[in-house]
Structure formats: structure tokens, C-alpha cells
Chains A and B, each alone.
Chain A
């Protein structure tokens, strides 16, 4: 590898990380790509979980892990947008989409980063119960940290609103966080065999 290759690699690497976690991307298509990258990276974590049993379990976990992100983005975020619009909070669709894509990418990046360590733990821990607890803790950590960009992105928009609307919006965001957490937990429990799902 020549020095120019190394420089090119570093540039691409820096650009990739920065694009995934950037506040906003200029193009709508880039936001969709960022969202899809988040789902793909979450699948990598799913593969790590599937390594405990191997075989078709790899595929089931790889499909099950990003399902919660998909569900929150497709069900919870539109509901939040509608309710925020009802109380006349100054949220816009492009910014909400951007915050959702950023949260997906952030969660995916984090889960993909945790995949090697998780693979070691779930493969080498004998007890199913302990492996399940480790997985739950990892998902809680990633879900909490990954969801922050979505909440902060929407809060950035509603902070311009009058005090009353802003307070209602903050309460709604808190409710949304609880709902998104419960929805993710339900979906992961139902779809991931390591958590006792199908």
C-alpha cells in the first residue's frame, strides 16, 4: 500500500464516520442511504448474536436485530410527528427524517462496534440466561445512546416554540422515548431467539 493509498483510505474512513453521524446531509437520498447503513450495521450485530447457535440462527438474528429500528422509524416517529404537528410544534418533515436517519446510523454504528465483544460473550458464556442478560444490556445501551440523536434533533426544532408548546413537546418526547423503548423491547423479544423469541 503506497502512502497515497493510505491517505486515501484515511480520507474515506473519516468521511464515512462523519457522514453517518453528521447533523444533516444535503441530499434526501443521502439520508435514506444513511438510514439503510444503520440497518445494515445493526444486522452485523445480529450476526454476532446468531453465532451462539449458528446455522439459520445467524440469519434470524441478522434480520431480527434491525427490525426494531425499522419499527420505531416506521411506526413511532410518524406518530410523534403527527402529535407534534397537532400541538403546533415547529417540526418539519425533512428535519425529522434526518434525525431519524442519524439515530439509525448512530445505533447501527454502535451495535456494529459492540458486535465482536458480544460475539465473544454470547458464544463463550454457557448459561442461556446470562447470555440473554448480556444481550439485553447491550441492546439497552445501544438503544438509549442511539436514540439520543433523534430526541436531540427534534428538540432542536421545538426549542424555538413558545414556552407552552415547548413544554408540551418535551413531555411528548419523553413519552415517545418510553414508547420507542417498549416497542423495541417487544420486537427484539419476539424476533431474537437469544431473547426467547421465535
Chain B
């Protein structure tokens, strides 16, 4: 079983089309399931741990737990959406095939995150600012997401219609994944912070925060709108609370 799992891990990276065929065919999914889940948990945990290196301490453990959690929650939420989109656009797939496909794609994305971890660690070690590290993490998630969508494209059929299904699915995946991660903040944590919370208060939305964070990284600070904080935590820039999303 171990040998088979390692082989599947290699195929996840090298030949997404073979993995997609495996998902669509009624073959034994155990090795694929195990390999994808291991890749998701280990890859995302490593990336989460690296993100927290600038803060250190308990944040390392929290981030290493929350990044895989965010990926798995997103996976669960978007599986029915891909099934519905594929069916209504004339590319119907069995639900079990969709589950395998999305799990494999998540595993692939986590492996990409694992590969990007040293780059992120180096950047954090070189002392890039908090807001720049948020944007760097968001760029890593975007790259990982694209590699996952590539595998899904093979799965729904590598055609114009398949590309349309994947484009529509991307419209669902991005806000869902971003909001899930937004709820599980913080991932990076600020060195100046005395206490490390496992979760922050619920506030505003991911899109607002990314926009303000991009402005803050360029030294442009804007105050949040008065009604955007139902539970105010002091007069801070909303961008200070912006963090990365898987």
C-alpha cells in the first residue's frame, strides 16, 4: 500500500491526465484517496508552519493546523458545486468521481504549496514586511489553485466546454476558499502581538481586506468604513487584520 501511495503522489505531480482517468474510471480509489489526503495534510501543514515563522511560538502549531483545515473545509463545500456545474453544462460526472477529482486536485495544490515553502521561508527570513508577506502567501495560493484547476480540467474533459466548467468552478472556488481562510485567521501573526489567538473576531469580508492590504503594502493607509466592524477591536486599519487565504 505504501509503495502504491508513493506512486500515486508522483503521478499527481507528473501526469494529471492519468489521475483524472483513474478518478473517472470505477477503479479502487483507496491509494488515490490516501495519497491525496496525506499530500493535503502534510503539504498544507508545512506551508502553514512556514507562514508562522516570523511570529514563532504557538502560532507555528496553529497555522500548521489551520491551513490544512481550510483546504479540507473548502474541498467539502465545493464538491457539490463542481458536480452541479458539470452536469448542467453537459459534462455529467458521478459524485464519487467528483469527490476523487477534487481531493486529488487539493493534494496537488498542497504539494505545490510544499514546494513554495522554502521560497516563502527565505522571504520571511529576509524580513519582508507583514503586508508583503500576506500578498506573497496569496500569490502562492493562487499558483497552487491554478495547478489544482489544471488537474480538474483533465477530469471534466479537456475541451472548450470543460474549460468553461472549470472557469465557472473557479468563480465558486475562489470566494469560498478565501472566505473559509478568512474565518480561520490569523495564519502569519505579527511579532509585536503579545498573545496568539487561535481565531480572530469575525469582521468585514476577504475582498475588502485584500484590497486594503495591497494599499497598505505600498504605504497607503485607509481607515475602514464605520459600519464594517460590528465588533470593533480598537481603532486599527482594517488592512492590519488582512491575512492570506488558501
Contacts and interface: CB of A to CB of B under 8 A. Distances in A.
Interface of A: 10, 13-14, 17-18, 20-21, 106-107, 109-117, 120-121, 124-127, 130, 134, 137, 141, 145-146, 148-149
B77 A117 contact: yes
Contact of A113 (B84, B203, B227): B84
Contacts of A21: 87-88, 90, 92
Contacts of B92: 17-18, 21
A141 B171 contact: yes
13 contacts: A14-B94, A20-B87, A109-B84, A109-B88, A111-B84, A112-B84, A121-B179, A124-B179, A125-B179, A126-B205, A127-B227, A141-B171, A148-B89
B80 A112 contact: yes
Contacts of A116: 76-78, 80-81
B175 interface: yes
Interface string B156-177: 0000000000001001100110
Contacts of A106: 87-88
Chain A contact residues, majority secondary structure: helix
B83 A113 contact: yes
B88 A134 contact: no
Nearest to B73: A120
A152 to B, nearest CB: 9
B96 A13 contact: yes
Interface of B: 26, 76-78, 80-85, 87-90, 92-96, 168, 171-172, 175-176, 179-180, 182-183, 202-205, 207, 227-228, 230
A127 to B, nearest CB: 7
Contacts, number: 92
Contacts of B175: 117, 121, 134
Nearest 4 Cβ contacts at the A-B interface: A113-B84, A106-B88, A113-B80, A110-B84
A46 to B, nearest CB: 15
A190 B77 CA distance: 28
B23 to A, nearest CB: 13
Contact of A145 (B82, B168, B205, B207): B168
Contacts of B88: 21, 106-107, 109-110, 145-146, 148-149
A114 B85 CA distance: 9
A145 B85 contact: yes
B85 A117 contact: no
Given A17-B95, A120-B176, A120-B179, 18 more contacts: A17-B94, A20-B87, A111-B84, A112-B84, A113-B80, A113-B81, A114-B80, A114-B81, A114-B84, A116-B81, A117-B78, A117-B172, A124-B182, A124-B202, A126-B230, A127-B205, A134-B175, A141-B171
